[in-house]
Amino acid sequence: MNEERSYIPETAYASYALAWALLLALLILTIAVAKLSLLAAYSVIGSLFIATIKAGLVLMYFMHLGHEGRVVKGMLLLAVAALFFIIALTFSDVWYR
């Protein structure tokens, strides 16, 4: 089967291992933040912030988003923005009802 060459460069195994280690470290961190009574007040923001960092790691290291062109990046932005606006507009009802 003939196929065009991939524009995503071959990645060292070690770089995946690094990402994996970082993800596990962040997992421990997010549990710690939620369980430490000191930080409990920030648990929602903190957890979602850490989750977003983790998602970013998966996107950049495992899914190679950085090597995709502007088209895919722009599309991702569009999809996330669409979801954000749907939730925001729904809250314009729920919060002020």
Partner 1 sequence: MAINSDSESVVRPAEKGGVDYAGKKIGMWLFLFTELLFFGGMFLLYSVYRAQYPAEFHAGAQEENLLLGSINTTVLLTSSFTIALAIAAIRRGDRALSMYMQSLTILFGICFLIIKYFEWAAKISMGIYPDSQLLLNMGKGDILFFSLYFVMTGIHGIHVLIGAVAISIMLVYTWRGSINRNSFVRLENTGLYWHFVDIVWIYLFPLFYLVT
Partner 2 sequence: MTEARADDMAQQEPSFYHEHGRYRGVFAWLMSTDHKRIGLMYLGALLSFFSVGVLLGVLIRLSLIAPGMVLNAQQYNEVFTVHGIIQIFLFIIPGIPVAFGNFFLPIMIGARDVAFPRLNRLTLWLYLAGAAIVLLSLFIKGEPPDTGWTFYAPYSIQTKANVSLAVLGVFVLGFSSIFTGLNFVTTIHRMRAPGMGWFRLPLFVWTLYATGWVQILATPVLAITLVFIILGRIFGVGFFDPSKGGDPILYEHLFWAYSHPAVYIMVLPAMGIISEVMPTFARHRIFGYKAIVYSALGIATVGYFVWGHHMFTSGMSDTARIVFSFITFLVAVPSGVKVFNWVATLYKGSIQVDSPLLFALSFIFLFSIGGLTGLIIGSLAPNLHVHGTYFIVAHFHYVMFGGVGFAIFAGLHYWFPKMFGRMFSEKVAKTGWAFLFVGFNVLYFSMFILGYQGMPRRYFEPPPQYHGWSVVSTIGSWLLAVGIIIIFSNLIRSLFKGPKASSNPWGGRTLEWSISSPPPAENFTEIPVIKEGFYGNK
| Residues of the shown chain interacting with partner 2 in the complex, contacts defined by CB under 8 A | 71, 78-79, 82, 85-86, 89-90, 92-97
> Restricting to residues 15-44, which ones interact with partner 1 according to CB under 8 A?
16-17, 19-20, 23-24, 27, 30-31, 34, 40, 43-44
User: Which of the choices partner 2, partner 1, none does residue 85 contact, using the CB cut-off of 5 to 8 A by kind?
Assistant: partner 2
Q: Residue 61 in contact with residue 16, Cβ under 8 Å?
A: yes
* Spatial distance between the Cα atoms of 79 and 26, rounded to a whole number of angstroms: 26
* Spatial distance between the Cα atoms of 52 and 30, rounded to a whole number of angstroms: 11
User: Which of the choices partner 1, partner 2, none does residue 14 contact, using the CB cut-off of 5 to 8 A by kind?
Assistant: none
Contacts 24+ apart (CB under 8 A), 53-59: 53/26, 54/23, 54/26, 54/27, 54/30, 57/19, 57/22, 57/23, 57/26, 58/19, 58/23
Which residues sit at the interface with partner 1, rule CB under 8 A?
Answer: 1-8, 10-11, 13, 16-17, 19-20, 23-24, 27, 30-31, 34, 40, 43-44, 47-48, 50-51, 54-55, 58-59, 61-63, 68-72, 75-76, 78-80, 82-83, 86-87, 90-91, 94-95
